[in-house]
């Protein structure tokens, strides 16, 4: 039942916003299944970093374009994933 609610929520958002997420053969579709939605997140991970003062900081790695769109379709706040660590080679501003 939970998977059906997720799928209904995501599909309704994608249809309402006239957008899509990668589905079969990575072609964007508004009819994505929950299984394919979950497969967008294998590289997303949260790491905890301890600094020299004993302070712990949570950072997220791997949150990119499709994951951000999937979170929006789910109604998930990106604040739950902040701050996001840059990938190696990204320019830090």
Residues 10-57: pLDDT tens digits? 999 999 999 999 998 889 999 999 999 999 999 888 888 888 887 888
pLDDT at 79: 79
Q: Which of 2-6, 33-37, 77-81 has the lowest mean pLDDT?
A: 77-81
Residue 50's Cβ-count burial label (10 Å; 0-12, 13-18, 19+) is exposed
pLDDT the model gives residue 92: 46
Residue 25 and residue 54 in contact, taking contact as beta carbons nearer than 8 Å: no
| HSE toward the beta carbon, residue 10, CA cutoff 13 A | 28
Its pTM stands at 0.73
Give the pLDDT band of residue 88 (cuts 50, 70, 90).
Answer: low
């Amino acid at each position: 039942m939970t998977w059906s609610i997720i799928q209904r929520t995501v599909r309704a958002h994608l249809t309402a916003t006239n957008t899509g997420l990668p589905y079969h053969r990575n072609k964007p579709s508004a009819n994505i299944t929950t299984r394919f939605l979950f497969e967008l997140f294998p590289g997303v991970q949260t790491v905890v970093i301890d600094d020299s003062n004993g302070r712990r900081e949570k950072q997220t790695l791997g949150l990119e374009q499709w994951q951000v769109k999937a979170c929006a379709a789910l109604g998930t706040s990106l604040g739950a994933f902040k701050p996001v660590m840059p990938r190696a080679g990204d320019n830090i501003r």
